[in-house]
Amino acid sequence: MLRLVVLGNSGAVPAPGRVPSCFAIKSGNTFLFDCCEGAQRQMMKYRISYAKVNAIFFSHLHADHILGIFGLIQTMNLHDRTDELLLFGPHGIKELMGTVLSLRYLRPKFPVRIVEVTSSKRVFEDKLIRVSAFKVDHKVEALGYVIEEQPINKFYEKKAKDLGIKGKLFREIQDNGFVKIGRKKIKLEDVTYVKKGKRVVYTGDSLPCSAIERAAKDAELLVHDSTFADDSQSLAKKKYHSTARQAAESARKAKVKALLLTHFSNRYADLSVLLAEAKEVFPNVDIAEAGKEILI
With contact defined as beta carbons under 8 Å apart, do 118 and 92 qualify?
Answer: no
286 is catalytic: no
CB within 8 A of 16, min separation 6: which ones? Answer: none
Q: Which of 64, 137, 205, 225 is catalytic?
A: 64
Q: Which long-range contacts (CB under 8 A, 24 or more apart) does 107-111 make?
A: 108/73, 108/76, 108/77, 109/77, 109/80, 109/81, 110/76, 110/77, 110/81, 110/82, 110/83, 110/84, 110/85, 111/83, 111/84, 111/85
Residue 13 CA to residue 182 CA, distance in Å, equals 70
58-80 CB burial, b ≥16 within 10 A, e <16: bbbbbebbbbbbbbbbbebeeee
Beta strand 129-135 pairing with 143-149 = antiparallel
Q: At what angle do helices 93-101 and 68-78 cross, to 10 degrees?
A: 40
Q: Nearest 5°: CA angle at 274, between 269 and 280?
A: 155
Q: Hey, which residues are catalytic here?
A: 64
